[in-house]
Amino acid sequence: MDIKREIDKLRREIEAHNYAYYERDDPTIPDFEYDALMRRLRDLEEQYPEYRAESSPTQRVGGRAAFSPVAHAVPLESLNDVFSAEELRSFDVRCREALGGPVSYVLEPKVDGLSVSLTYLGGSFASGATRGDGVTGEDVTHNLLTIENLPGVLRGQPPDRLVVRGEVYMSREVFADINADREANDLPPFANPRNAAAGSMRQLDPAAAAERRLSLVVFNIQELSGGWPDTHTETLDLLASCGFPVNTHAVFSDMEATYRAVLDLGARRDAYPFEMDGAVIKLNDLAARRTLGSTSRAPRWAIAYKYPPEQKETTLLDILIQVGRTGVLTPKAKLVPVCLAGATVTHATLHNLDFIAEKDIRIGDTVLVQKAGDIIPEILSVKQDKRPEGAEPYVFPQTCPVCGAPAVRDAGEAAVRCTGAACPAQRHRALLHFASRGAMDIDGLGTATASLLLSEGLFASPDDLYRLTPDDLAQLPSFKEKSAANLIDGIARSKSRGLARLLFALGIRHVGQKASQVLAERFGSMAALQEASLEELTSIADIGATTAGSLKRFLDSAQGRSLIEGLQTCGVEMTAPQKSGGEKLSGLVFVLTGTLARQTRTQAAARIVSQGGLVSGSISAKTSYVVAGEKAGGKLAKAKNLGIPVLTEEEFEAMLMEGS
């Protein structure tokens, strides 16, 4: 095979695997086989640079196309969400008080798609970009051109320069057709229209995007040469006259009428061709918008009302039991497929045995299902009047379904746990957790490789990973010399991840990422942490008695000491990097609440930590200061009740700068 043909073949093969992994969440080959293909392609492109291409999978991160970045001259802001009439009325009061007079609102459906900006020069479509982070997006012009109702040339007398904002979506009808076709061809269906639309915009081949039959709706002008209209409705009229498909809308002069229309819109949302996750309420007057302005992330002149989760009935086919890395047996409902919030739902969480018993959930029952936050499917209730004759109460297993060891329930806990120390399911999940991105981030150690290491007896404890040799791996099925060397290299690189990520990777009960970071910053080394008393641990903000007790038991156990010693012997780093910003906030605990104008709360938290302070998510007796931004709520009230000092953002800045 000549080199060009081999490169083209590799690219097509890798693209197919990327599609299966990222779009279908259904990988078709083990990680190490994928890595081998990618390495072969990269080697060929380095040896034969004349065949390099920007569209090659080697030029992308995480299987996604490295589309050119596009800076938005006018930010594509997000919206603050509200969920009740009271919150809408509060928004109305803020607008009226700030403007000192009457206002009018425009109501539009909130299309659940992918937000894009479109640039027209001289009346012709010039380019388009995704929203990205609102400041910088990605150029997807080639895929936008495949959208049938996107005007290539504007009608009438359009402005010389026009930048508009819209939403790319996949209609309900197209979504149903495509999924029916995929199922007929033994392909898994897409999860929901929004993800399908977003994935389509990231296709390298425009022909693939065209097959998705996407649609566009436009709802805002971002930039406009010449004079601006006075109202939002006039901008929509202008857009419609140019040939854009514009959002349906209505105008109201008071919030009560607006709220009634919001509810009516929600009741009719199934009649729209697109998925709708809420309603958008905007000030109509553009001058009023300029007066109110925006916060660091959202306009003050608009709000999004989010509808409650959609609920539907379906049948419970079976109750499946999964075994987690800590041995917890988690029940999961298998359902007759039902469409909820634009997604096909086949499974739902059942939480634990108490949840099943409390709701008296039985196999064969008709159940009411919703997606919590439109994300996680859950069972709300059982339709007792529809229960089939002979349905028996569910009996939770008393043994592990994987290893057969007794399953026990500790006093005071809802969880039932497998007691098998060598349970394959626990070890498999523990290994995947140890190697995951948030933990030790070991390249090439995915599900298939983990299963192989376990089945061949090469993994019983995390320190076993660091004793693996290329010869150990080369003897395994499907492992070749180069793939073995690459995994060994990935394991070696993970040694330098630092104390915080190591603590999280160990999978100690109740010790998550945040607690691991706090502990690493406080003690600086594993040795110091091992010497800490229970009292020292519980005195730290965000480290409660349960977390401290679990950590102390692990550190004092023979298994814990042996594991840490083994990892240390293998050269795994067990210290935390030194802070570079001084220790002026050492010993102080901050709680951030509300919206900060000059920075995000994440940025503020990073500045506190860099100067030796700690950031907590809740107020307690350990809290030193509360930093309150705009729209601070319950935490601010609690701080005042407890007499905890409250800082404005300006006072907080002054504290950080003091002595600098």
Helix (H/G/I), strand (E/B), else coil: 654: helix
Question: What letter would DSSP give residue 372?
Answer: E
CA distance 301 to 293: 7
Dist. CA 136–CA 271, nearest whole Å: 34
576 Rama class: left (phi>0) / alpha (psi -120 to 50) / beta: beta
Give the start-end residues of each E strand in 287-374. Answer: 302-306, 311-323, 329-340, 343-349, 366-372
Distance CA 308, CA 278 (A): 9
**Does residue 319 contact residue 370 with C-beta atoms inside 8 Å?**
no
- The torsion region of residue 95 among left (phi > 0), alpha (psi -120 to 50) and beta comes to alpha
- The widest CA-to-CA distance across the chain, in whole angstroms, is 80
Which helix (DSSP H) or strand (DSSP E) does residue 300 occupy?
none
Measure the CA–CA gap between 216 and 343, rounded to whole angstroms: 20
Instruction: Give the full edge-to-edge strand order of the sheet including 105-111.
Output: 81-82, 302-306, 276-283, 105-111, 250-252
Between CA 78 and CA 132 the distance in angstroms is: 11
Catalytic one among 4, 9, 110, 635?
110
H helices within 353-423, ranges in order?
A: 353-359
Phi, psi (degrees; rounded to nearest 5) at 498 = 100, 170
Q: Can 110 be counted among the known catalytic residues?
A: yes
Residue 579 near residue 547 (C-beta atoms within 8 A): no
CB atoms within 10 A of CB 144: 23
Residues in the chain: 660
Residues 6+ apart with CB under 8 A from 192: 175, 275, 341, 342, 343, 344
Contacts of 382 (CB under 8 A, 6+ apart): 359, 360, 361, 362, 365, 366, 367, 368
Q: How far is CA 242 from the centre of its chain?
A: 37
Q: Please give the Cα distance from 164 to 232 (Å, whole number).
A: 13
The pairing of strands 407-409 and 376-382 is unpaired
Q: Enter the DSSP assignment of 21.
A: I
Burial class of 278 by CB neighbour count within 10 A (0 to 12, 13 to 18, 19+): buried
Relative to beta strand 250-252, strand 161-169 is unpaired
Question: Residue 459 and residue 473: Cα distance in Å, rounded?
Answer: 12
299 forms beta bridges with: 294
Q: Mapping DSSP to helix (H, G, I), strand (E, B) and coil, where does residue 253 land?
A: coil
* Kind and range of the H or E run holding 16: helix 3-18
Cβ 214 vs Cβ 200: under 8 Å: yes
Q: Give the residue numbers annotated as catalytic, written as ranges.
A: 110
